[in-house]
Structure 1
């Protein structure tokens, strides 16, 4: 796939709103085609540098790396750095990129076919690949079947939901462990030990459903406050009012 695009230093005599939009569409199409081609090259690179079964006992020196889920090809560690250099990213970023390509081609073939056909954006397909990497092949196949046809319009939350559902069906022990680990990551810290000019820092990680409910409460409460105040100030005040209002449950 070869493509060239003219780069000009200023407006052309034919410049018009229509010509600018047409050029923007052309550039977008070129970028999409290039993204697909690069992903294919990544998968081909792994094919050209096959590894053996990963030996975790090797502590030093080059070894084969498992960069995607179970059942996907491995790759020689040195080949990862070489490809990363070629596409201008760090070795860790290159490893992730190669792993996404391999995951798609070998464990999510339906989704891979739609990506190659230009029907699903590369960035969206990579999101699915990163979510399925930790689940067994049977579960990945189920996700592929359920999401490939609609991946182009799936939210990230729906992707995570389908992955969790497939894992629960095919690897319930791992699904339960994942659920417990997710629970343990939830927290809400109000740093009362460090108060600056009457301001206290709040930080936390909560469940998506709880976050959505809290966001709705804060947005609704903030809308009732002084409109002359900046929105961020009103939102911060709304949090305090929610805590002070005994009739409101967060």
Structure 2
């Protein structure tokens, strides 16, 4: 929406206040719609005909104690309309149900009075989800008068303290069982040759690692490294990636030239590009563009397995059900990300699913590069049991239809919305109609 002419500072402030109210009103409406969607998909409808297929939809309690059970695959279609991942839609529904059923004062503050941002109330819902109905009711009553006036950081610290006081035993169990929440991951978008490494460690491991990083950073300084302490600590962490180099340095011996661990690398680069003395750009599969100088630097310091080129324009097929070997690899190289709308997974730990379901009594060659798409196991289950449909008009382009005729297209550019008319033509039209719809789709 374009901002109209604003002549005075007071007008700017008035417009800002009006925009804030409009933003909170929209956030409140989304919470109400999430609750209404859950109400439309109650858990008691699951298995009402006496049969639930293996892996089929289940009744689950997404919110805390006292909230109704909901069909576990219903967030997927709501997520498409909100342009968010199905897991994010599930969290939205869980938070909205908790606010309506377990935290009425927060629900009133957000939905009726627009007195606080929705993310604050949702965070409170998440923090209190493990409490019983009686315990969370006490939290809600205690904070009813101050929830909308306390700064978010103070409010959330207060809620955390009340949760601990209400249920010490659960907090201790969660701390002891927190192994499942630990992780170490590398970001997918390097910047100027640098990357971010994120991790969640057990307390003692984190402290020990921090101490070792500090020690290596001190040794680097003693050897003449004049970089800032943060830079030396970053280099120290890189040194720890090579145990032999790190042990030599910590033992006071001059390290030999470090060598990186073996790597399998998909580099989109011709031999001419690599050997010519000119500027240029290469591309790492799943990582994005890098300069040729950067590629030479990496290849010069790693044991690299060079994979033979797979011609992604050539159609490969198999009579078997599974996508295996070069056929699977070709599909994953052509479609490096999960092909479900708004999906983010780019790892190789994905199923390759048939766009047109495999018919064991059908013709040979049904398993082919033009009939496969990578999906995580969760998205595969949504497609199979969540009444989602998909078409692949040409290899690497997927058209998805929800039960309520919402259409999304996914390809190498991400996720796009198309009109109901175009989607209907692609799914239900005759050959000529589908061809015309594809021409329109190709032009979008």
| TM-score, normalisation: structure 1 | 0.65
Residue matched to 1:164: 164
Asked whether the equivalents of residues 46 and 57 of structure 2 are also in contact (C-alpha less than 8 Å), the reply is no
Deviation at 1:40, TM superposition (A): 1.1
Deviation at 1:101, TM superposition (A): 0.2
CA distance in 1, matches of 2:147, 2:54: 39
Deviation digits for residues 131-155 of structure 1 (CA, Å, limit 9, x no counterpart): 0112222211111111232222143
Deviation digits for residues 35-88 of structure 1 (CA, Å, limit 9, x no counterpart): 111111111111111114999x98612222321112211221231101111111
CA distance in 2, matches of 1:139, 1:58: 37
Deviation digits for residues 182-201 of structure 1 (CA, Å, limit 9, x no counterpart): 7x932312235855843336
Deviation at 1:17, TM superposition (A): 2.1
Residue matched to 1:36: 28
Unaligned regions of 5+ residues in structure 2, if any? Answer: 179-200, 222-231, 238-444
Residue matched to 2:155: 155
Aligned CA-pair RMSD: 3.1
After superposing the two structures, state which structure 1 stretch, 65-74 or 147-156, moved more. Answer: 147-156
- Compare CA radii of gyration and give the structure with the larger one: 2
Residue matched to 2:97: 102
CA distance in 1, matches of 2:65, 2:142: 20
Give the match's secondary structure for 1:149: coil
Residue matched to 2:137: 141
Residue matched to 2:38: 46
Deviation at 1:108, TM superposition (A): 1.3
Deviation at 1:175, TM superposition (A): 3.8
CA distance in 2, matches of 1:180, 1:82: 36
CA distance in 1, matches of 2:92, 2:114: 18
CA distance in 2, matches of 1:90, 1:68: 18
Structure 1 runs of 4+ aligned residues shifted over 4 Å read 179-182, 192-196
Asked whether the equivalents of residues 46 and 71 of structure 2 are also in contact (C-alpha less than 8 Å), the reply is no
1:59–1:131 Cα change, 3 Å: farther
**Larger strand percent:** 2
- Larger RCO, structure (CA 8 Å, separation 6 or more): 1
Residue matched to 2:71: 76
Q: Does 1:91 align with 2:86?
A: yes
CA distance in 2, matches of 1:161, 1:53: 39
CA distance in 2, matches of 1:58, 1:151: 45
1:54–1:110 Cα change, 3 Å: farther
**Larger helix percent:** 1
CA distance in 2, matches of 1:54, 1:136: 26
CA distance in 2, matches of 1:140, 1:58: 36
CA distance in 1, matches of 2:45, 2:136: 20
Asked whether the equivalents of residues 54 and 74 of structure 1 are also in contact (C-alpha less than 8 Å), the reply is no
Residue pairs, 1:210-221, within 5 angstroms: none
Residues matched between the structures, number: 190
Deviation at 1:120, TM superposition (A): 3.1
